Amino acid sequence: MNLHTLTIAQAQDLLAKKEISSVELTRAFLDRIDKYDNIISAFITVDPDLALKQAEQADRIIAKGENQAFTGIPVALKDVLCTKGVKTTCASKILENFVPQYDATVVEKFKAQDAVLIGKANMDEFAMGSSTENSAFFVTRNPWNTDHVPGGSSGGSAAAVAARFCAGAVGTDTGGSIRQPASHCGVVGLKPTYGRVSRFGVVAYASSLDQVGPITRDVTDAAMMLNLMGGHDPKDSTSAPEQMSDFTKGIAMFKDKGLSGMTAGIPKEILSLEGIDPEVKTMFENARKTLEGLGITIKEISLPHTNYAVAAYYIIAPCEASANLARFDGVRYGYRDMDSDDLIEMYKKTKSKGFGLEVQRRIIIGTYSLSSGYYDAYYGRASQVRALIMDDFKRAFEECDIILSPVAPTPAFKIGEKVGDPLTMYLSDIFCLSCNMAGIPGISVPAGISSTGLPMGLQMMSRHFDEMSLIRAGYGFEQAVSKHIEFPEL
Amino acid sequence: MKISQQEVEKIAHLARLDVDDELKETLAGQLSDILDYIDTLKDVDVDGVTPVSGAAFMNNVFREDEREPSPGPDVTLANAPERDQDFYVVPRVVK
């Protein structure tokens, strides 16, 4: 049996039946990492001894019959989540040697069930980017074609799942950073409702947009992982008090009655946007037909402010980033320039040597937009446009249960293709951003392979706290389409 | 919106970044392009629209002010680039 091909649900079943052990499962993934991560470069940190120790502990728990859903399941974490005693770098030189003294709440939840934390995944520095090329350490390669990017910013997490280096992974999504790399790597990525999952211990990029979520092989695993990760956390004041559900019920709902009774909206604005690859358009048209075949009613809707989402996002996110990243001042943790004997000079040298170019670019955009005389024209106006985007969704969801779009306008681009042109890179996030602006949940499910052999994802979005509809429709779509897509050989 | 190198320098100072001349030139060009694109927001009629600052349900969150155990200085200062006993050391501030 090729243990690395197991989904979380399959592995959980075999572990519970004691047909496999967590040590065997963990070894299978570690062997793959050892063999192929020199090509893919998905991980910043892997500690095989620690992972095997956790696996042994999990096996003891299973032997006692005390196993829970994630006991013994090897999971990768984006290197933005604080892990006690294990380096957490955010793919930045400024945190290259940072060892957190506590676990993020999400990490605690995995540990509480004795999951195996197999490694810390590469990302765009401080989650700023769409290709993982902004990592200060190295570029991650797309397992489907190593000349191409895996997407970003959770590119290491998505590539690790696609390369079958782990059973599932945790990512974060501020403007598409779970869904877009999932789409580019042919895996499932779920951005929960803002506030659904605790952000405590997750290094902040843009606090009103950041959300933590699963990247998995299939929709069932995403539902299981959300069950574990979600819920109110008193340590995160933006964490929502809403009750959690068992999201695997969405799968039972599909098995029971398909998608009948559900309405999917297609925003008329999105297909007239410039720069959408014809193959992405064909994929989307086929996806629409498939969903119709599953009983869903399709309706044309309007999100009139879609065109302004990128511009508003690239004000709001950098403004919040410029405030959040002020904490990296070389005083309490992280890199410090030791040659300065003046405080201001020390701050400046520390930041400019510690932060990469994209991070400095966004700090400057944010500082500019918030500076005296420009605040109203930039941050103020962008916040008003954000209100209009939220209204668009509110109105749209009076007519439909889910909204469909492609995840990305093109399949994964080539490494180096957009590095010199940040604006073009920003525009590749067009379909994902408004979801974060409105705080609603969104899922990316594999929907096809381009003629060049690269995967393309379908995005579904739903009302606040209605991840259930995404699981139901996502699972239905997966049964019809995604599960017939073969993973690449490495 | 054209951003000059002088403006980049001024903003970089406010953000406590040390930007060299070559980067100043690159950033001035890129920021001008980005801000030109962002200027499309001027086409939106925002008259009377109340701005939103978050996607959360904007209720204030209260909790009891209860004392909890402190992790102590060794944990708190574990990542300090420079420390002296229980203090962070910084370059001289008052000259």
Residue A104 is classified by DSSP as -
Q: Is there a contact between A208 and B33 if contact means CB atoms under 8 Å apart?
A: no
Q: What is the pLDDT of residue B58?
A: 66
Q: What is the mean pLDDT of each run of 10 residues along chain A (490 residues)?
A: 95 98 98 98 98 98 97 98 98 98 98 98 97 98 98 98 98 98 98 97 96 98 98 93 93 96 95 87 97 97 94 96 97 95 95 96 95 93 97 97 97 93 84 95 98 97 97 98 87
- The answer to the question of residue B39 being in a domain is yes
On whether any CB of chain B is under 8 Å from the CB of A380, the answer is yes
Q: Tell me the backbone φ, ψ of residue A370, rounded to 5 degrees.
A: -95, -5
Domain locations along chain A? 3-261+466-484
Contact present, A68 and A12 (Cβ < 8 Å): no
pLDDT tens track for B29-52: 989 998 999 999 999 999 999 999
Enumerate long-range contacts of A133-138, CB under 8 Å, 24 or more apart. Answer: A133/A415, A133/A416, A133/A419, A134/A91, A134/A356, A134/A357, A134/A358, A134/A359, A135/A44, A135/A91, A136/A89, A136/A91, A136/A92, A136/A93, A136/A96, A136/A356, A137/A44, A137/A89, A137/A91, A138/A41
- The answer to the question of residue B67 being in a domain is no
Cα separations in angstroms, A147 against A4, A140, A142, A152, A453: 24, 10, 7, 15, 12
- The answer to the question of residue B30 being in a domain is yes
Q: Is there a contact between A352 and B17 if contact means CB atoms under 8 Å apart?
A: yes
> Which residue is catalytic, options A135, A177, A322, A405?
A177
- The answer to the question of residue B51 being in a domain is no
Q: What is the pLDDT of residue A50?
A: 97
On whether any CB of chain B is under 8 Å from the CB of A332, the answer is yes
Strand ranges (E), A188-346 = 188-191, 211-216, 263-267, 297-301
Amino acid at A416: G
Cα separations in angstroms, A407 against A160, A178, A248, A394: 20, 10, 23, 21
Q: Closest Cα partner for A152 from A181, A173, A120, A187?
A: A181
- The answer to the question of residue B23 being in a domain is yes
Rounded Cα distance between A403 and A102, Å, is 38
Domain that holds residue B10: 5-43
Q: Is there a contact between A348 and B17 if contact means CB atoms under 8 Å apart?
A: yes
CB burial of A343-353 (b: ≥16 within 10 Å; e: otherwise) equals beebbbbbbbe
Number of domains present in the structure of chain B: 1
Q: How confident is the model at residue B56 (pLDDT cuts 50, 70, 90)?
A: low
Q: Which of B34, B81, B92 sits opposite A336 (nearest CB)?
A: B81
Decide if A322 is catalytic: no
- The answer to the question of residue B26 being in a domain is yes
Which CATH number characterizes residue B11's domain? 1.10.20.60
> Closest chain B residue to A313 measured between Cα atoms?
B38
Q: Is there a contact between B75 and A101 if contact means CB atoms under 8 Å apart?
A: yes
The structural architecture, per CATH, of the domain A3-261+466-484 is Alpha-Beta Complex (3.90)
On whether any CB of chain A is under 8 Å from the CB of B42, the answer is yes
- The answer to the question of residue B12 being in a domain is yes
Query: Considering chain B, what is the average pLDDT of its residues?
Result: 91
